[in-house]
Structure 1
Amino acid sequence: MMDGMSEPLLSARGLSRSFGELPVFAGVDLDVRDGEILAVLGRSGSGKSSLLRCLAGLLDPTAGTVTYRGAVLSGSNPGTATVFQNVALLPWQTVWQNVELGLRARRVPARVRAAAVRAAIGLIGLDGFESAYPRELSGGMRQRVGFARALVVEPDVLLMDEPFSALDVLTAENLRGELLELWASGEFPTRALVLVTHDLAEAVQLADRVLVLDSAPGGTVRAAFDVPLPRPRLTDDPAYRELVAAVYDAMTGRTNPRPDTAGDVPELARVAMPTVPVDGVVGLASLLLADGPTRLDRLAGHLGAGAADVLDALVLLGFAARDEHGAELTDAGVGFAAADGADARELFAAAALAVPLVRTIVAELRARQPLPADRILRLLSGWLTPAQATEQFEAAVDWGRYANLYRYDADHALLRPGATATLLDL
C-alpha cells in the first residue's frame, strides 16, 4: 500500500520536548508515509506518548516542527485522530452519542452525521450496541468505541497510544487481528497508522516500520527497522524471530551517559540496573524453569511491557542467557528458580553482589554505618539525571532488601547492613 515516492503525510524535524528542565525527547526526525503502519517503540519514560501528542498538535514541542501535508502545524492537527489507552468515554452518553462527538464538534449536519456514525459502528463491530452505555460494555467493547470515535472523522493518520495495553491478552490479540483485517481490506477510512507501544512483539506483528526511542530522558530515535515480512506474520518464521531479536537488542541496548568520557564513568553508573522489582525476576525465573528455552516474542506476550527489563535483570544476575533465538536459565538460574525461601534469597544475594550499584552500597556500609541514602545518590548524580539516580537507588534497595544484604529506613533515609552481608565476600 505504501508509496515511497510521495510526500509524507506527517513529518517531524528536530522535534524536542521538555517539561521544565526535564528533557523528554530531543532531536526526533520521522516521516509517516501514505499507506503504512508505523510503530514507535520504547520503554516507559522514553517520551513516546508525548511524541504522539506533539504529532496530534495536543502538545506544543519545545523545539523543532511538525508538518502535515507539507504545512507546519500550529494548534491541533486537522489530519489526525487519536485512540488512547484509556478511552475516556462519557459515561452519561450512549455508544452512538460517544462516537458522534467529533462530528458534533465539527458541526456536521445531522443526516450526514448519522450516516457516518452508522458506518463507523458497523465497521468496528459495534452493531447492536448503539444504545448501550459505557458501564454496560466490556473493556474490549469500550476500546472499540474509542476506535469508532476516531475513525468516524476519517482522519488521514490514525494515532494510537498503546490502545491494547489495558486489555486482557485474548481480547488484545483479537482486536489486533481485526485491525489488520480491516487495514488489508481497503475499507479502513484512514491513509496511515501510527502505533505507540512498549510491546516489541506487537510492533513487529503490526508495523511496516518500527522506530525505537532511546530510553534515556532527552533521548532520540535509537534505531529504525523496515518490516518487509508478509502478513499474517508467523511467529515461527526464522526471519520474524531474527527481526524480533534485533529490535529487542536495540530497545534494551545501554548507552553511556557521557560517551566522550566513557573511560571516566564509574562502573556503578556505566552498568545500569534494570529497574524491575524482585517479584518480576522470581516470576520470570519460575516461568523459564517450567517452560525451558523460550522465544523472545513469547516472553513479551507473557510479560508485556516488563519483558525486556526483567530478562535484562536475570542476565545481569547470571541467572539467564539469551541469543537471537530466545532465552533460557543458566545452571545458576535453575538453582535459584528451584530454591525456596532463605535458600533462594542467599543465592540471589551472591548474584546481586555482581551488580556494581549493589556491591557499592555493601562496600560503603562496611566503611560507614548507618549509611545516608544521599551518599549513594550523590555518587550517581554526577553521571545520571536525578530521576535516573532515584530509579537506580530504589531498584537497588528492593534487591538488597530481598537478599537481606541491607535494610533501609525510609523515614530517615538511612541504610544499615543486613544479615546476609556479613556472610559474603565482595
Structure 2
Amino acid sequence: MRTIAKLENVSKTYKLADDQQLEVLSQINLDVQEGEFIALLGQSGCGKSTILRIMSGLIKPTSGTAYQYDEKLQGINETISIVFQSFALYPWLTVYENVRIGLIKRQLSSSQEEQEITEAIRLIGLGGHENAYPKELSGGMRQRVGFARALVAKPEILAMDEPFSALDVLTAQNLRAEVIDLWKNKEGTFKSAFMVTHNISEAVSMASKIMILSSHPGRIVHVIENKMPYPRNEKSPAFLALVDEIHGLITTLNLPDTPKEHPISKAIFENAESKAFENIPYVQISRILGFLEVLKDDNGRTKIFELAAKMKEEFGSVISIAKAVEILNFIETPGQDVVLTELGRKFIEAESTNQKLIFRKQLVLMKLFRLIIDKLTTLKTLAEDDLKVEINNRFPYENADKMVDTIVDWGRYGEIFEFNADLKVFTQFEDSV
C-alpha cells in the first residue's frame, strides 16, 4: 500500500513563560497508508491534536520530518482535510456556503462547484438544509456540515480531531456509522482516515489500527491492529475483550503497579533526594473529593473504567485523578482495580475540618510541599517564579504553570500556606507546620 502521510522522528517543544521549555511530543514515528483508518488514543493533553496538526502542515515540528507521500512536507498537506471538534462554521454563511469553502483550492467552474457541493451535502445527509444558517441547526447537523466541507475537498486522508465528543450519544453513534460507510464504500472519496480521540469504544468501533499515546511528553507506546470485520457489534465478546485490553494498557501506562523511572530523569537527577520528589498531577481538590465519594459509594473497590462511567468522565481524566489520589495514599491501584485505603475512607467520611487536617498531614509528607514549607520557615516568603525554577529543575518535562496552580489549590485546602495571587507570593499560614 502507498504511504500518503508520514512522520519521522518528530518532536515538538513549546517555549513557555520564563524561557521554560515544554516538550509535548518526543520521537513520533507513524505513517498513514491507503485504506487505513487510524485512531490515535490518549488522555487529554498528551499531544494527540499536535500530531494531527503537524501531519496536516498547520504547525511545524521542532525536530524530525513530516512527509506528503515521499516528499518532505512544505506548507499545508493538501491531501488532508480536517473535521474539528468545535464545528468551526462561519455563522453568517449558509450550509451551502460553508461547504463551498472546502472547494477554494480546487478551482472549479460554477457548475462543477454546484455539483460537488450538492453531492457532498447528499452524502452526509444534509439535503434540504442548504439555505439554513448554523444557528438553525442542531449540534449533530452542524458537525455534518463540517464533514461535508471536508469531503468536498476530495482529500485522500480525512483527519478528525475529537469529531464526536460534543455530540449526544445517539447522534455520535449514527454519525460514526455513516463515516465508516463512506470510508468502506469509497463514496466519500477519501482513501484513509486519521482520528484523534480519548474514547476507547469509539476507537475500537471505527479504527483498523489503534495507536496509544503516553503523556509528558507524548510517545506512541502501543500499536494495535484491529482486524474485526465491519460493522462492529459493540456487545460482541471480541469487541468487549479489545476494549478491556486497551483499558488495561492505558491503566498500566498511567498507574503502574511498580513506579517507572524516566530514563532522561535518571540522567538528570543523580541523588536519591531529588528522585523522591513527587510528580503532582494537575487535579483540583473538588475532583479528588468527587472521585472518593463515588468510590466510597461503590463499597471502596471498583474497576477504573467502571469508575469513569459512573463519574461520567472521560477515562483519561479519571486516570489523572486516580494518580493524584494515589499519591495522597487515599487509594491503591492493583491491576485495573481502584481500592479505597483505610486512610482514604477515614478522609472521605470525616467532616470538613478533619478532612483538611488529614489532607494537610499527607501534604507535609510530600517532598515538594515540604520544600515549600522549609523555604517559608527560613525566608517567610516564596515567590511563585522561584517555585517554578525548583519545578523546572526537578520536572523538566512538566508544565510549571499548571503544577503551581495545583500546588496552590492543594496547599490552600490543606492550610499549609497562603498565596497572594496579585503579588504572586507564598507566605506562611498562621497555623502551618
What is the aligned residue count?
Answer: 416
Among 304, 314, 324, the residue aligned to 1:313: 324
Matched, 1:241 2:244: yes
Residue 233 of structure 2 aligns with which residue? 232
The question of whether the paired residues in 2 share the 8 Å contact of 1:352 and 1:358 is answered with yes
> For the structure 1 residues 180 and 298, does the alpha-carbon distance in structure 2 shift closer, same or farther, using more than 3 Å as the test?
farther
Decide which moves more: 411-420 or 145-154: 411-420
The question of whether the paired residues in 2 share the 8 Å contact of 1:223 and 1:250 is answered with no
The question of whether the paired residues in 1 share the 8 Å contact of 2:24 and 2:47 is answered with yes
> For the structure 1 residues 90 and 30, does the alpha-carbon distance in structure 2 shift closer, same or farther, using more than 3 Å as the test?
same
> For the structure 1 residues 381 and 56, does the alpha-carbon distance in structure 2 shift closer, same or farther, using more than 3 Å as the test?
closer
Residue 397 of structure 1 aligns with which residue? 408
The question of whether the paired residues in 1 share the 8 Å contact of 2:255 and 2:333 is answered with no
The question of whether the paired residues in 1 share the 8 Å contact of 2:294 and 2:307 is answered with no
Matched, 1:364 2:375: yes
TM-superposed deviation, 1:181: 5.1
Deviations along 1:53-104, one digit per CA (max 9) or x if unpaired, are 2211222334332223323322222211011122221111111221122224
Decide which moves more: 78-87 or 203-212: 203-212
> For the structure 1 residues 271 and 151, does the alpha-carbon distance in structure 2 shift closer, same or farther, using more than 3 Å as the test?
same
> For the structure 1 residues 138 and 331, does the alpha-carbon distance in structure 2 shift closer, same or farther, using more than 3 Å as the test?
farther
Among 350, 354, 370, the residue aligned to 1:343: 354
> For the structure 1 residues 193 and 214, does the alpha-carbon distance in structure 2 shift closer, same or farther, using more than 3 Å as the test?
same
Residue 287 of structure 1 aligns with which residue? 294
> For the structure 1 residues 54 and 138, does the alpha-carbon distance in structure 2 shift closer, same or farther, using more than 3 Å as the test?
same
Alignment partners' CA distance in 1, 2:276 and 2:165: 31
Residue 197 of structure 1 aligns with which residue? 197
Counterpart of 1:365, as a letter, is L
Alignment partners' CA distance in 2, 1:183 and 1:337: 49
Counterpart of 1:360, as a letter, is L
Residue 12 of structure 1 aligns with which residue? 7
Decide which moves more: 111-120 or 52-61: 111-120
Alignment partners' CA distance in 2, 1:364 and 1:309: 28
> For the structure 1 residues 117 and 239, does the alpha-carbon distance in structure 2 shift closer, same or farther, using more than 3 Å as the test?
same
Counterpart of 2:313, as a letter, is L
Among 318, 333, 341, the residue aligned to 2:344: 333
Q: What pairs up with 1:64-75 in 2 under 5 angstroms? A: 64-75=64-75
* TM-score under structure 2 length normalisation: 0.83
Deviations along 1:3-62, one digit per CA (max 9) or x if unpaired, are xxx232221112234445744434321111222221223444433323212211222334
The question of whether the paired residues in 1 share the 8 Å contact of 2:204 and 2:242 is answered with no
The question of whether the paired residues in 1 share the 8 Å contact of 2:279 and 2:395 is answered with no
Residue 267 of structure 2 aligns with which residue? 260
Structure 2 residues not aligned, in runs of 5+: none
Q: What pairs up with 1:53-64 in 2 under 5 angstroms? A: 53-64=53-64
Residue 98 of structure 1 aligns with which residue? 98
Tell me the secondary structure at the aligned position of residue 224 of structure 1: strand
Tell me the secondary structure at the aligned position of residue 9 of structure 1: strand
Matched, 1:274 2:281: yes
TM-superposed deviation, 1:275: 0.9
Counterpart of 1:243, as a letter, is I
Residue 410 of structure 1 aligns with which residue? 421
Residue 3 of structure 1 aligns with which residue? none
Alignment partners' CA distance in 2, 1:337 and 1:168: 33
Tell me the secondary structure at the aligned position of residue 29 of structure 1: strand
Alignment partners' CA distance in 2, 1:239 and 1:356: 39
TM-superposed deviation, 1:229: 5.0
Decide which moves more: 338-347 or 306-315: 338-347
Alignment partners' CA distance in 1, 2:425 and 2:236: 49
Deviations along 1:283-338, one digit per CA (max 9) or x if unpaired, are 22222233454444444552225222112112222222334444343333333333
The question of whether the paired residues in 1 share the 8 Å contact of 2:37 and 2:209 is answered with yes
Residue 303 of structure 1 aligns with which residue? 313
> What percent identity do the matched residue pairs reach?
33
TM-superposed deviation, 1:365: 3.4
Counterpart of 1:338, as a letter, is E
> For the structure 1 residues 211 and 300, does the alpha-carbon distance in structure 2 shift closer, same or farther, using more than 3 Å as the test?
farther
Alignment partners' CA distance in 1, 2:166 and 2:143: 9
Alignment partners' CA distance in 2, 1:104 and 1:379: 50
Among 390, 393, 402, the residue aligned to 1:382: 393
TM-superposed deviation, 1:354: 3.9
Decide which moves more: 336-345 or 98-107: 336-345
Alignment partners' CA distance in 2, 1:296 and 1:181: 33
Counterpart of 2:282, as a letter, is T
Alignment partners' CA distance in 2, 1:72 and 1:228: 31
Structure 1 residues not aligned, in runs of 5+: 1-5
TM-superposed deviation, 1:140: 2.5
TM-superposed deviation, 1:184: 5.0
Alignment partners' CA distance in 2, 1:186 and 1:380: 51
The question of whether the paired residues in 2 share the 8 Å contact of 1:214 and 1:221 is answered with yes
The question of whether the paired residues in 2 share the 8 Å contact of 1:32 and 1:192 is answered with yes
Tell me the secondary structure at the aligned position of residue 411 of structure 1: coil
Counterpart of 1:271, as a letter, is E
Deviations along 1:155-204, one digit per CA (max 9) or x if unpaired, are 11111122233345554455435434554555443221111234455444
Tell me the secondary structure at the aligned position of residue 258 of structure 1: helix
> For the structure 1 residues 35 and 405, does the alpha-carbon distance in structure 2 shift closer, same or farther, using more than 3 Å as the test?
same
* TM-score under structure 1 length normalisation: 0.85
> For the structure 1 residues 326 and 199, does the alpha-carbon distance in structure 2 shift closer, same or farther, using more than 3 Å as the test?
farther
> For the structure 1 residues 371 and 16, does the alpha-carbon distance in structure 2 shift closer, same or farther, using more than 3 Å as the test?
closer
> For the structure 1 residues 291 and 187, does the alpha-carbon distance in structure 2 shift closer, same or farther, using more than 3 Å as the test?
farther
